[in-house]
C-alpha cells in the first residue's frame, strides 16, 4: 500500500501565490502544505520514498524539491480533474493505496485510523466541519464534500446534502485495499465507457466523490473513520488568512 497524492492542478483561487509554485507548496502555518501532509503520512507509517505524486502544473518545481517521490504526470491537467488525476496513477493503485488531496492540512491520527480500519474502502470524515465555514465567504458550505452515514457505513457522499443532514465532510483522504482498488478501477472504466457526465459534471471534470456516489448507488460499500477537527482545506487567499485561527481554534 502506497500513498497517492493528487496535486496536478494549479490552484488558481490562490491567485498570485501559485504563479511560480504548485498549490501544495504554498506555505500554511509557516510550512508548505505538502510538508504537513508528509508528516501526517509518516505518523501512519509511510516514508517519503513511498509517495506516488500525481503532478501537472509546475511539476518541475516538485521534481526538483522531492526527487525521492515516484511521479505520475497528468499531462491534461488543465482540462480534467481529481478523478482523472487519480487514474493517472492506476498502475500504483492495485496493491492498495491511501489517496490524499494536496491542498489540505490534517492530523496524522486521521490517516492512521483509516489505515487501521478493516474495511476495503474508507473515507476520512470531519465531524466538526461546520466550524470552519464560519466567516468563510469565498468557499461556502454548499461546496463541501459532505457525507451521510448509517453508523460507519456511508450512504451518500455529495455536495448537495443539506448541511443539517450531513454526518460530516470528506476531507479528501481515503484508504483503499487491493480489493477496493480493483473495484474502483473497474467502476471508473465502466463509467468512462458509458457516461458523458458523472454526477453534475462532464466526465473529465468529475471529482472522486462523483464516482464514489455512483458506486454507492450500485450497492458498493464505503465506510468512514472520523476526525473531530484537525483538518482544514486551503482553497482561497481568504483560507490562508483564516488558517492560523482555524488550527489554533481546535481544527
> Which range marks the domain in which residue 243 is found?
2-248
* Rounded percentage of the chain residues whose pLDDT exceeds 70: 99
- The string of pLDDT tens digits covering residues 110-151 is 999 999 999 999 999 999 999 999 989 999 999 999 999 999
Of 156, 138, 136, 137, the residue nearest 146 (C-alpha): 156
Question: Grid coordinates in use for 123?
Answer: 473515507
Residue 249 confidence (pLDDT) above 80: no
Number of independent structural domains in the chain: 1
The per-residue pLDDT for 248 is 81
Q: Which residues of 26-50 are buried (b: 16+ CB within 10 A; e: fewer)?
A: bebbeebbbbbbbebbeebebeeeb
Task: Yes or no: say if 174 and 98 are a contact pair by the CB < 8 Å rule.
Answer: yes
Please tell me the pTM assigned to this model. Answer: 0.96
pLDDT in tens, 74-111: 999 999 999 999 999 999 999 999 999 999 999 999 99
CA distance 29 to 159: 28
Range 120-133 burial, b when 16+ CB lie within 10 A, else e: bbbbbbbebbbebb
Hey, what long-range contacts does 188-196 have (CB within 8 A, 24 or more apart)?
188/83, 188/87
Q: Write phi, then psi, for 31 (nearest 5 degrees).
A: -140, 155
User: Could you tell me the CATH number of the domain that includes residue 121?
Assistant: 3.90.550.10
Amino acid at each position: 500500500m502506497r500513498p497517492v497524492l493528487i496535486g496536478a492542478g494549479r490552484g488558481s483561487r490562490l491567485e498570485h501565490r501559485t504563479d511560480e509554485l504548485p498549490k501544495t507548496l504554498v506555505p500554511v502555518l509557516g510550512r508548505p502544505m505538502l510538508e504537513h501532509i508528509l508528516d501526517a503520512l509518516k505518523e501512519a507509517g509511510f516514508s517519503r520514498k513511498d509517495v506516488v505524486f500525481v503532478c501537472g502544473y509546475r511539476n518541475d518545481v516538485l521534481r526538483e524539491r522531492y526527487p525521492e517521490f515516484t511521479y505520475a504526470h497528468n499531462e491534461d491537467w488543465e482540462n480534467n480533474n481529481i478523478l482523472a488525476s487519480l487514474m493517472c496513477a492506476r498502475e500504483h493503485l492495485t496493491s492498495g493505496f491511501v489517496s490524499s488531496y494536496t491542498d489540505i492540512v490534517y492530523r496524522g491520527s486521521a490517516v492512521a485510523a483509516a489505515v487501521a480500519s478493516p474495511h476495503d474502502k474508507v473515507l476520512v470524515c470531519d465531524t466538526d466541519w461546520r466550524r470552519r465555514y464560519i466567516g468563510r465567504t469565498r468557499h461556502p458550505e454548499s461546496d463541501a464534500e459532505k457525507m451521510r452515514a448509517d453508523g460507519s457505513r456511508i450512504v451518500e457522499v455529495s455536495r448537495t446534502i443539506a448541511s443539517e443532514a450531513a454526518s460530516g465532510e470528506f476531507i479528501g483522504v481515503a484508504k483503499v485495499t487491493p480489493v477496493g482498488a480493483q473495484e474502483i478501477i473497474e467502476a471508473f472504466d465502466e463509467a468512462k465507457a458509458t457516461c458523458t457526465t458523472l454526477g453534475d459534471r462532464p466526465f473529465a471534470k468529475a471529482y472522486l466523490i462523483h464516482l464514489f456516489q455512483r458506486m454507492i448507488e450500485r450497492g458498493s460499500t464505503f465506510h468512514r473513520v472520523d476526525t473531530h477537527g484537525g483538518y482544514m482545506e486551503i482553497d482561497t487567499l481568504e483560507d490562508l488568512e483564516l488558517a492560523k485561527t482555524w488550527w489554533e481554534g481546535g481544527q
